[in-house]
Amino acid sequence: MENVGKTHRESAGYVAGPGLGLTRSALRGKHISAAIIVLAGALLLLGGSYLRHADTQLFIQFVGCVLTASGLAGWFLSSAEK
């Protein structure tokens, strides 16, 4: 059977691209954009706890932690600039 899907590197690139873009906008952005990213990460953490599949739950909560951490870093950096 032929592998018609994407390779693991391509998939990781498609996931990492928007993640890096969100982190850059949070670190350079204003308070409100960083707060929205923190809220999105918190919702992923909360939503991941309701999933039954352990691997999916871990992945969703990991993405939520990364989003929350980058949003908080952006929020602290943007508040220290002024």
pLDDT category at 36 given cuts 50, 70, 90 is confident
Q: What is the pLDDT of residue 1?
A: 45
pLDDT average, residue stretch 22-27: 59
- How far apart, in whole angstroms, are the C-alpha atoms of residue 4 and residue 66? 30
Is residue 47 pLDDT above 80, yes or no? yes
- How far apart, in whole angstroms, are the C-alpha atoms of residue 13 and residue 52? 27
Q: What is the pLDDT of residue 35?
A: 82
55 or 25, which is more confident: 55
Question: Which percentage of the chain shows pLDDT scores above 70?
Answer: 60
Global pTM reads 0.60
